[in-house]
Amino acid sequence: MKIFYIVPLLVLAGILSHPASAEVYVPDKAFAGYFDHDGKYAVYGFVRNTQSTPVIARVGVTVSNGSYAFSESRILPMIYPLDDMPFRFIFPQVEGGSPVLQKPDVAFFDTNGRPLNLAVDYDRTLVKFPDGHLTGFIANTGNTTVHDIDVFALVHDRRNDYLDEVQSAWTIPAISPGGRAEFAMYPDPAVAKDVYYYSCFIPGTDNVVGMSTQLKGRPFYFSVLSIVYFTNQKFGPGNTELSLDASNPWQITYPADFMFPKNSSNGDFKVLINGREARSLTSQDTDSGNWHVAFNVPYGQQKVVISGFNPVYTPDNDKYFYLDAKSALGAWAGFSTYTISDSKLLQVLGIHGTYIPPWVKTSVGFMIYKNVPPQTIVDEIKYLQRAGIVR
């Protein structure tokens, strides 16, 4: 669901979009797949940036299995010069056979920025346990509070080969200047016994602003990740174009990443800024199917038009359209900066009802702290529904 940009962002080097190049690429030895603990095909790797400027990149992965091929793409967090950015895809359609990975597709545009003032403590508190999981602390070395923090890393075996990409088990709500917070990382059980060490720790935040406008007499919810101010959002007469006023007072150019509901478009987005087409990247979330459109916004007052919406789409009034099973369970159980109701969680899980017993939150805690798969908790809730406890 989430796109994690490392912010704040700084000076833009250019509003360029490129295909993959020798400077921004996925190394062959860092790209592989395996069947995870749930029997789904997982693909992991990282994009390496050898340029002198940071980039925002989209990586696309295609898996062939017999006569079928499945593709997914994602816009990654900002990748700084001489740095790597891990990624991981799950292909639930591939549960057997002999999958073949195609060469990954990478597209990017140049930007610039500075990392968050967050640093993993490389001391005795960074501990890898015999079962493969790791715990540690992350510190805020800056002067402002940082919110909604996650940590990403790659795991390796004793031969220094890559095994998987992992994400911290829970989102840290906030760290004040000079403060520290604990994080934990759990590899997939299918590779846990082979984990020897972790590398490429990347902190990220999810500073998403929720927005809405009217479409066909209903509220249309979407979100944007940017420090540019967007206002006066509205659809045109044909319901295929969303216009916004962008105010960028920082005297430098910043990127923006918009997220739209999955059924609102077929993905044929185009972005105009002051009537001129802007270079943009489009991707679709693996789990939720929601669309992401990323582009750069110049300094000053701009008129932005995003086209490519489905004219027959009717909003379903879902404020939390972006939630998948894991994020919804976490929000419901109090492991997020916001909470959702019993009925909303059940809606996300495709279960009819309005009540879940509070003690199920203990099971969600196991998902957060013990790497229990979200599907296990979903199956538990479905069992409780059949027993008449969830209703």
CA distances, 39 to each of 92, 242, 354 (Å): 8, 41, 31
What pLDDT shows up at residue 136? 96
> How far apart, in whole angstroms, are the C-alpha atoms of residue 387 and residue 288?
28
Q: Is 47 exposed, middle or buried (0-12, 13-18, 19+ CB in 10 A)?
A: buried
Quick one: pLDDT at residue 113? 60
Structure tokens at 340: 């959702």
Confidence at residue 252, expressed as pLDDT on a 0 to 100 scale: 74
The CATH architecture annotation of domain 209-309 reads: Sandwich (2.60)
Which residues does residue 301 pair with via DSSP β-bridges, in sequence order? 247
- Asked if residue 278 lies in contact with residue 296, where contact means CB atoms within 8 angstroms, the answer is yes
* CATH architecture of the domain with residue range 118-158+166-205: Sandwich (2.60)
The fold of 24-110 is Immunoglobulin-like (2.60.40)
Q: How far apart are CA 118 and CA 366, in angstroms?
A: 27
Same fold, 24-110 and 209-309: yes
Which pLDDT value is given to residue 29? Answer: 87
The pair of structure tokens assigned to 322 is 């972006």
Cα→Cα distances 147→173, 234, 257, Å: 5, 29, 18
Q: Looking at the whole model, is its pTM more than 0.75?
A: no
Domain boundaries, the chain: 24-110, 118-158+166-205, 209-309, 325-386
pLDDT tens digits, the chain, 391 residues: what are they? 444 333 333 333 333 345 545 689 999 888 999 999 888 899 999 999 999 888 889 999 999 998 899 998 888 877 888 888 899 998 988 988 899 999 999 999 887 666 678 999 999 999 999 999 999 999 999 898 888 888 999 999 999 999 999 989 888 888 999 999 999 999 998 999 999 999 988 887 766 788 999 999 999 999 998 878 999 999 999 999 999 999 988 777 888 899 999 999 999 999 999 999 999 999 988 777 899 999 999 989 999 999 999 999 999 888 888 888 888 998 899 887 678 999 999 999 989 999 999 999 999 988 877 778 888 899 999 999 999 999 9
Helix (H), strand (E) at residue 383: helix 374-386
CB neighbourhood size of 273 (10 A)? 18
Question: What's the pLDDT at 233?
Answer: 97
